[in-house]
């Protein structure tokens, strides 16, 4: 096999990542749906010809997609082995959550990169489409008890055959969406991204040679494995356990345990989730491939020096039984998968805080608050506003957590208020940081946010929400405290109300002029709050991040009536056990 020097390997890695980045940018700039165009809820990558393993990912795509796409590409590889008949330009489309997917909104396109009549690699695109049928506009159905109530499930089908698009498949997709024009625009953006990626990769192969690029793929994966082994070996051997909970499944108001036993033995790690809750009735289940993808994301946050490819998972063993809600099959509902994978990431962070407390970080806010408002415009034209929302990240050994950030499952951005108001009949009457929402700590958790949305359409709006952290707050580490709980309210003719299931909402309709309000959690704190420097606490109070009452209660910092630091009272308060 061709051997590459480090400089050449670094240059080729940069070229390969740039191809994936260009594919991302092509879709972002052409998608009709703001969740792709503005929030970047999509990704692209290059995958192994035989196994589907991740070889290259872009820097701006969603990491959770990249991890799951390896299973999606393998599903296509298996179909090709069964069916044969593969030609250059063939492109498979599907959204099956149980075959390398996540939930029904996330559509995958997979295409072979062929050289000399053989598959050299696979390129793939995934993006969140706005609506694909089902009982609820936008498909986040909190009451779904089977996938048929969440939307239309498409197995891997050949959308493009020998570079000719199959119109009958397009017609089926269009007939099963409330907003077919939006989906059509997103689909064309994904196809164009694959076209560009195929062209760019052929150019690189022609320039550098197939053997050289194949050697680069192998070397990059090998280095990722070696770095991951070294990181694991630096940790103390042992088993570290952590449990956390989901509020409920949207159907039954009972908590769902997500439990991890993390074992380190030499340069290998085992992630055992067998103590987790059984499959649930509502849409908080996930497929095994999605669970592994979320582990991949968590480990990449912990071991930041490890390259993002399949090599980093070689030293990891997974025990995720199908008797748990983390490894379900059809037709278990999965629309709220984001909430469950965030809890998987949380328990990995929690277990790791016991293995290496000096490198731990508080829990992020760990809910996307998938909120959909939907209704009718004039001439009975459908509108659907789907959005996810920000919160605080956990305090860490070096700094406070970020305020109003996105969750660690993604590099997505929260869509700008101006875009949402221009596209939909809504008005944001508040978009602000939420005081006292970050977990107290020597390094404070980041702040959550307050969003208040008023319906402007004459017919009002139907409201749907799948959220979490309404009962179990984001945890702190090393003596840090928990963050504020998630809170949702909606206006009625009888006043503001909270939903019975706290974080899951359906069967709610607001009139024109009425509002819904989200108050999102912050991140968990890091370290004893009483060890935070008083000047930093004083600055937080002056910025409105924490209240004077919280300064005294949580940080034992007293202020004078003019807002200045009361040094004597603070010293006395901190001297008490």
Structure token pair of residue 8: 């050449």
Instruction: Report whether 501 contacts 248 (CB < 8 A).
Output: yes
Which has the minimum average pLDDT: 90-94, 348-352, 409-413? 409-413
Domain ranges of the chain: 6-224, 361-532, 534-575
φ/ψ of residue 298, rounded to 5: -60, -45
Length, in residues, of the chain: 577
The per-residue pLDDT for range 288-335, each reduced to its tens digit, is 999 999 999 899 889 988 888 889 999 999 999 999 999 999 999 999
Residues 554 and 475: their CA atoms lie apart, in Å, by: 15
Find how far residue 3's CA is from the centre of its chain.
37
Best CA proximity match to 346, nearest among 472, 478, 533, 161? 472
Residue 409 has a pLDDT of 78
Burial track 465-482 (b if 16+ CB lie within 10 A, e otherwise) = bbbbbbbbbbbbbbbbbb
The pTM (predicted TM-score) of the whole model is 0.95
Q: Is the pLDDT of residue 531 over 90?
A: yes
The per-residue pLDDT for range 239-264, each reduced to its tens digit, is 999 999 999 999 999 999 999 999 99
Cα–Cα distances in Å, from 386 out to 89, 193, 415? 33, 24, 10
The per-residue pLDDT for range 363-382, each reduced to its tens digit, is 999 999 999 999 998 878 89
Residue 78 has a pLDDT of 96
Q: Is the pLDDT of residue 559 over 70?
A: yes
Residues 436 and 322: their CA atoms lie apart, in Å, by: 40
- Dihedral sign for Cα atoms in the order 308, 314, 316, 321: positive
User: For tokens 């959204």, what's the residue?
Assistant: 95
Residues 366 and 523: their CA atoms lie apart, in Å, by: 8
Q: Is the pLDDT of residue 464 over 90?
A: yes
Q: Is the pLDDT of residue 63 over 90?
A: no
Q: Taking the CB of residue 535, how many other CB atoms lie within 10 A of it?
A: 10
The per-residue pLDDT for range 133-155, each reduced to its tens digit, is 999 999 999 999 999 999 999 99
- Considering just the CA atoms, what is the radius of gyration of the chain in Å? 24
DSSP 299-323: HHHHSTTS-SSGGGGTTEEEE--TT
The per-residue pLDDT for range 330-361, each reduced to its tens digit, is 999 999 999 999 999 999 999 999 999 988 99
Q: Where are the beta strands (DSSP E) in 208-335?
A: 238-246, 256-265, 268-272, 316-319
User: 58 pLDDT band (50/70/90 cuts)?
Assistant: confident
């Amino acid at each position: 096999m061709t051997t590459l020097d480090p400089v050449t390997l670094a240059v080729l890695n940069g070229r390969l990542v740039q191809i994936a980045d260009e594919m991302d940018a092509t879709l972002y700039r052409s998608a009709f749906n703001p969740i792709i165009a503005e929030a970047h809820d999509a990704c692209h990558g290059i995958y192994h010809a035989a196994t589907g393993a991740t070889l290259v990912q872009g820097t701006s795509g969603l990491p959770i997609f990249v991890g799951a796409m390896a299973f999606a590409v393998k599903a296509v590889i298996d179909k090709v082995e069964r069916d044969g008949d593969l030609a250059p330009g063939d492109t498979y489309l599907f959204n099956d959550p149980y075959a390398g997917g996540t939930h029904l909104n996330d559509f995958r396109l997979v295409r072979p990169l062929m050289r000399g009549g053989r598959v050299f690699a696979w390129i793939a695109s995934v993006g969140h489409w706005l609506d694909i049928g089902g009982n609820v506009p936008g498909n986040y159905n909190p009451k779904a008890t089977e996938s048929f109530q969440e939307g239309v499930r498409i197995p891997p089908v050949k959308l493009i055959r020998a570079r000719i698009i199959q119109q009958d498949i397009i017609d089926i997709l269009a007939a099963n969406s409330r907003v077919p024009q939006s989906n059509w625009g997103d689909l064309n953006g994904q196809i164009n991204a694959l076209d560009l990626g195929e062209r760019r990769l052929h150019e690189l192969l022609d320039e550098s040679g197939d053997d050289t690029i194949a050697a680069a793929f192998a070397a990059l994966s090998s280095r990722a494995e070696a770095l991951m082994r070294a990181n694991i070996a630096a940790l103390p051997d042992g088993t570290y356990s952590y449990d956390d909970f989901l509020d409920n499944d949207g159907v039954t108001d009972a908590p769902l345990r997500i439990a991890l036993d993390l074992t380190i033995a030499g340069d290998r790690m085992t992630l055992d989730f067998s103590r987790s809750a059984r499959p649930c009735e509502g849409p908080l289940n996930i497929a095994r491939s999605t669970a592994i993808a979320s582990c991949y994301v968590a480990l990449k946050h912990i071991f930041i020096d490890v390259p993002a490819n399949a090599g980093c998972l070689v030293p990891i063993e997974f025990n995720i039984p199908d008797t748990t809600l983390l490894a379900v099959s059809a037709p278990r509902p999965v629309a709220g998968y984001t909430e469950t994978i965030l809890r998987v990431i949380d328990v990995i962070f929690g277990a790791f805080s016991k293995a290496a407390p000096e490198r731990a970080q508080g829990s992020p806010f760990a809910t996307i608050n998938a909120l959909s408002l939907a209704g009718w415009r004039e001439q009975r034209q459908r509108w659907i506003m789907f959005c996810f929302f920000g919160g605080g990240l956990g305090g860490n050994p070096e700094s406070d957590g970020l305020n109003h950030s996105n969750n660690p499952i993604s590099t997505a951005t929260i869509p700008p208020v101006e875009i949402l108001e221009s596209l939909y009949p809504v008005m944001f009457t508040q978009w602000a940081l939420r005081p006292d929402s970050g977990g107290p700590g020597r390094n404070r958790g980041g702040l959550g946010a307050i969003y208040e949305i008023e319906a402007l359409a004459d017919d009002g709006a139907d409201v749907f929400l799948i959220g979490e952290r309404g009962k179990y707050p984001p945890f702190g580490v090393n003596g840090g405290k928990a963050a504020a709980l998630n809170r949702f309210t909606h206006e009625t003719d009888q006043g503001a109300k909270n939903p019975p299931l706290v974080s899951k909402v359906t069967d709610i309709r607001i009139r024109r002029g009425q509002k819904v309000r989200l108050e999102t959690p912050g991140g968990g704190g890091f370290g004893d709050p009483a060890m935070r420097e008083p000047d930093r606490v004083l600055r937080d109070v002056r910025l409105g991040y924490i209240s004077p009452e919280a300064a005294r209660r949580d940080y034992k910092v007293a202020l004078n009536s003019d807002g200045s630091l009361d040094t004597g009272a603070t010293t006395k308060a901190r001297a008490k056990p």
